[in-house]
Amino acid sequence: MDSHDGNRQIRGVAEDALSGSVVEVDDVTVGKAGRRSVVRVTVARTVADLDPDDHTSAVAPLSLDEIAEASSTLGAALDASDALGASPYTLEVTSPGVGSPLRTPEQFRRNVGRLVELTQTGGGVRRDRLVWAGPGGVRLADTSAEPLAWEDIRQAVVHVEFSRTSTGGDN
């Protein structure tokens, strides 16, 4: 089995283990640390339960308790599976951090209300608050009523904020 198939198998085990919870798999990587494999699973709050017409409400980040519970669940599921064979491994479970790339509509939706930096396919860079993420693209606080289409976004990241004036939200 090549490493791509192994990652896909581990991702499947992780997704099955977390199915039905408030946590979903965002990314899986497997690396080596000596003779051990290091399985890194990035998890995030699911947006599947949001009203499909809600494109603007804030999504709470995962708590440390929720991440710890996901880690325990994932560890038990990986131990019970043959995804890693008999090889020793270290499991690291984390949530996406500041600077993590936003690649999917779900990742953008989770970050509504946060400051983002978008690089457009045409080369422009925009940094502003993400106020809407829905079908067809996103809207930033400084844009007109037209969303920025998904195909017009080359890359995007959540930007660090050290202080923010209150806007009534918890972000």
pLDDT at 33: 87
- The SS3 call for residue 149 is strand
Domain final residue pick, 65, 94, 123: 94
Residues 49 and 113 in one domain: no
pLDDT digits (tens, 9 = 90+) for 93-122: 999 988 889 999 999 999 999 999 999 998
Helices and strands in the chain: count of H runs, count of E runs: 3, 8
- CATH number reported for the structural domain that contains residue 119 in this entry: 2.30.30
Whether residue 30 is contained in a domain is answered as yes
pLDDT value at 167 more than 70: no
Q: Quick one: CA torsion of 54, 60, 65, 70, rounded to 10 degrees? A: 40
The domain in which residue 86 lies consists of: 3-94
Q: Give me the number of domains the chain comprises.
A: 2
Whether residue 164 is contained in a domain is answered as no
Whether residue 125 is contained in a domain is answered as yes
Q: How far apart are CA 76 and CA 30, in angstroms?
A: 17
pLDDT at 143: 65
pLDDT band at 131 (very low <50, low <70, confident <90, very high): very high
